[in-house]
Amino acid sequence: MRKWNINDVYQPKRLMECESTLICCCFSPQRLYLAFAGMDNGSICVWDFRDTIDTDTLTPSPIEDGFRTRPASYSTAILSTEGSHMAPICSIVTISRPKNADETRKSARLFDDITMTRLSFQIASIDILGVIHIWVLAEVSNPEMCGPLWT
């Protein structure tokens, strides 16, 4: 996947690497530093553009010389088959929080308290079989102590 800056059309700003074929993607409207992609193997990848990457872990891009690829910050490919998609993902979207108090109270019945905090949010994915998954992404405050920024 390539991320472009519209002010520089001659080269991509970033090249993101994934282990499967990317089918669909979206960016978070509230967290502009996040990109989500649905893959043909049913997995979802997340790229956090704030991640600092040791240059030793970067590999030359097989697509264009001189560019480095960036691995996903998180992938559901590591999950067991239970609870994840078993077919190619055809759409992925972020789920927005309600903007006013009345909407918040109504939606609170639908979502657990943790999903309404500032450090977490939701995305929805649907595969070609019609299976929908709602994913809660929780940002950890101290990634050095527990691994990746996203769990």
For residue 125, give the H/E element and its range: strand 120-127
> SS3 for 102?
helix
The answer to whether the beta carbons of residues 1 and 18 sit under 8 Å apart is yes
More confident residue, 54 or 17: 17
Which tokens sit at 3?
Answer: 């991320």
pTM: 0.69
Q: What is the DSSP string of 23-61?
A: EEEEE-SS-TTEEEEEETTS-EEEEETT----GGG--B-
Taking only the tens place, the pLDDT of each residue in 23-46 is 999 988 888 888 999 999 999 999
Sheet (strand 14-16) strand order: 2-3, 14-16, 69-70
Name the most confidently modeled range: 23-37, 51-65, 107-121.
Answer: 23-37
Q: What are the structural domain ranges in the chain? A: 12-146
Query: What average pLDDT does the segment 121-139 reach?
Result: 90
Predicted pLDDT at 88: 95
